[in-house]
């Protein structure tokens, strides 16, 4: 297990300690420990069935568990729900409701009044670029716009802890960018965001910290940059006239792979070979691209999930 200390406990928004959960005789979470900081985005990653959604449900007390979950230093309780926004993996909208009916129904549960909701809803529809009017029925919207409406319901009450279970599911690239923009906006306002996603590029782009769950256990935990660098600078991205067959024969190169953008990716047996390879390829002259990086989070995910690099 690779573990990093994220921060001192006094600065934590959410703390999870020794979280265990069983359904009948089947244990699904084993001594899960991690923290989420104020104003940070944390990515919770893992294979399907690894326990991510169960962790979210435990935080929200939807299920019983053993262990301790605290928010700002006190046990998470009924009084904290108004400060939490939760977007479930499965859409939970009422298809026959109009958009404004759906938002009001959920926002009232968070203590908002109709006047406040009406004032904010138009702005939210614009910010998330929802294709529709507030009087349109949910069932008339595309899946992507339904997801945006659900995001509005998650955020309209200005929560300080935001839990998003697969927020980009079913969205096209343009709408993914709209949702990313809003997630970053929430971070800039000081909210703590926890989200799960199977697209590791999204996690690398957005997340300050990452926790990986495999078969109910934490196998990676820490700052996203530190987690990647722990695996060493064993990838080189290069543009060169040298044939890929010749590149693969250089000492220290395990494999050479041509990428769609014309770069060649070199897999190194050790990061130390980077200096020698740079000298071989550049020969003291200008080289357009030479970028030595750690494995991507996607590669690390595959390795830790047991699929192999």
- DSSP single-letter state for residue 288: S
Which three-class secondary structure string do you get for 100-139?
HHHHHHHHHHCCCCHHHHHHHHHHHHHHCCCCCCCCCEHH
Q: Read off the pTM.
A: 0.87
Tell me: the pLDDT tens digits for 82-124? 999 999 988 789 999 999 999 999 999 999 999 999 999 999 9
pLDDT in tens, 202-257: 999 999 999 999 999 999 999 999 999 999 999 999 999 999 999 999 999 999 99
Residue 25 DSSP label? T
Tokens of residue 40, six digits: 């940070």
């Amino acid at each position: 297990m690779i573990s990093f200390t994220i921060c001192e406990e006094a600065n934590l928004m959410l703390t999870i300690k020794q979280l265990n959960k069983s359904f009948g005789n089947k244990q699904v979470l084993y001594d899960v420990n991690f923290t989420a900081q104020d104003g940070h985005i944390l990515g919770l990653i893992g294979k399907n069935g690894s326990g991510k959604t169960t962790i979210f449900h435990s935080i929200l007390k939807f299920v019983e568990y053993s262990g301790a979950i605290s928010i700002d230093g006190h046990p998470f309780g009924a009084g904290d729900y108004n400060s939490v926004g939760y977007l479930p993996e499965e859409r939970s909208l009422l298809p026959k409701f109009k958009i404004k009916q759906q938002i009001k129904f959920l926002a009232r549960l968070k203590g908002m009044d109709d006047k406040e909701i009406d004032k904010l809803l138009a702005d939210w529809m614009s910010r998330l670029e929802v294709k529709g009017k507030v009087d349109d029925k949910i069932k008339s919207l595309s899946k992507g716009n339904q997801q945006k409406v659900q995001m509005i319901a998650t955020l309209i009450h200005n929560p300080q802890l935001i839990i998003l279970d697969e927020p980009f599911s079913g969205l096209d690239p343009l709408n993914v960018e709209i949702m990313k923009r809003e997630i970053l906006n929430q971070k800039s306002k000081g909210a703590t965001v926890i989200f799960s996603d199977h697209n590791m590029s999204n996690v690398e782009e957005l997340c300050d910290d990452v926790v990986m769950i495999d078969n109910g256990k934490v196998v990676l935990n820490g700052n996203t940059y530190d987690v990647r660098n722990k695996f060493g600078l064993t990838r080189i991205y290069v543009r060169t006239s040298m044939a890929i067959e010749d590149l693969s024969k250089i000492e220290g190169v395990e494999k050479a792979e041509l990428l769609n953008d014309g770069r060649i990716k070199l897999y190194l047996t050790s990061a130390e070979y980077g200096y020698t390879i740079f000298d071989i390829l550049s020969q003291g002259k200008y080289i357009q691209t030479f970028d030595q990086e750690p494995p991507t989070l996607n590669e690390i995910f595959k390795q830790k999930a047991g699929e192999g690099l």
